Amino acid sequence: MNNLLFQSGEKVLFIGDSITDCGRRDLHAPLGHGYVRKITELITARYPERDIAYVNKGIGGDIVEGLESRWGTDVIAEAPAWLSVKIGINNASRQHAEGVSTEDYLPVWEACYRRILQRVRDELQARLFLFEIFYVAEDVDVPRPLVVDAYNASIHRLAEEFDARLIQTHAAFQKAVAARPGALWTTQDGVHPNAEGHTLMALEFLKQAGW
């Protein structure tokens, strides 16, 4: 019961796109109703003696360039001890929609992601969690050919480079789909998790957080 990495007095900040946002800016303020809230509730229930601060800075529709534009105010100024980043599926969707090749698009995306992580290393020394992106094609009638594996290979490289804990959500969803054929894990779009999908994400995060 004492293996959780987060200690009393520390701040844990989650940033990303709509999968992180989940209404945290309106009806479900301040943590949203997705995996972030599930993580915080489970930790609080299991470790009620720990006074941990949680911040959700997800914004629906965001891309890695959007994170970079708000990194100073939404991350650096918050000075978290722990930072979780979930970004990339909107970049993959944009690449597909614009018909840009992976060879041209992905290096630019990775360079931007590297810049914001380097700022964390240089200015905060916060410890990192990086989420894989995922696309549950089995939930979609006509799936899009998104290059998820290429983005995840990039995320794996960055996790190793910056000594981040890697949350392998793509692998977890694929395992879940294989184990329970026909069950939905997203809101039928392959991208946005339903309640079970958010719970899966939370559990994968908690594995890496020592819960």
**Residue 6 maps to a domain:** no
How many CB atoms are closer than 10 A to CB 22?
22
Which residue in the list 84, 154, 192, 198 is annotated as catalytic? 192
**Residue 1 maps to a domain:** no
Q: What pLDDT was estimated at residue 2?
A: 65
pLDDT tens, position by position, 96-148: 999 999 999 999 999 999 999 999 999 998 999 999 999 999 999 999 999 99
Give me the domain span that covers residue 21.
11-208
**Residue 3 maps to a domain:** no
Q: Measured between alpha carbons, how far is 202 from 27 in angstroms, rounded to an integer? A: 21
Write the CATH number for 69. 3.40.50.1110
Residue 25's φ and ψ, nearest 5 degrees, are: -95, 0
Q: Measured between alpha carbons, how far is 40 from 202 in angstroms, rounded to an integer? A: 9
**Residue 52 maps to a domain:** yes
Whether 149 is catalytic: no
Q: Measured between alpha carbons, how far is 90 from 176 in angstroms, rounded to an integer? A: 23
**Residue 2 maps to a domain:** no
Whether 189 is catalytic: yes
Q: Which one, of 124, 125, 143, 120, lies nearest residue 189 by Cα? A: 143
pLDDT tens, position by position, 138-197: 999 999 999 999 999 999 999 999 999 999 999 999 999 999 999 999 999 999 999 999
Q: Measured between alpha carbons, how far is 176 from 200 in angstroms, rounded to an integer? A: 9
Q: Measured between alpha carbons, how far is 17 from 36 in angstroms, rounded to an integer? A: 12
What share of residues in the chain are helix, strand, coil (percent, to 5)?
Answer: 50, 10, 40
Residue 98's φ and ψ, nearest 5 degrees, are: -90, -5
Q: Measured between alpha carbons, how far is 120 from 159 in angstroms, rounded to an integer? A: 13
Q: Measured between alpha carbons, how far is 64 from 141 in angstroms, rounded to an integer? A: 28
Whether 101 is catalytic: no
pLDDT tens, position by position, 35-94: 999 999 999 999 999 999 999 999 999 999 999 999 999 999 999 999 999 999 999 999
* Residue 3 burial by Cβ neighbours in a 10 Å radius (0-12, 13-18, 19+): exposed
Whole-structure pTM value: 0.96
pLDDT tens, position by position, 9-18: 999 999 999 9
**Residue 56 maps to a domain:** yes
Which residue in the list 18, 139, 154, 170 is annotated as catalytic? 18
Q: Say whether the peptide bond before residue 30 is cis (omega within 30 degrees of 0).
A: yes
Q: Identify whether the C-beta of residue 135 lies closer than 8 Å to the C-beta of residue 146.
A: yes
Q: Which one, of 75, 86, 94, lies nearest residue 168 by Cα? A: 86
**Residue 164 maps to a domain:** yes
Which residue in the list 8, 51, 149, 189 is annotated as catalytic? 189
Residue 78's φ and ψ, nearest 5 degrees, are: -75, -25
Specify the number of domains making up the chain.
1
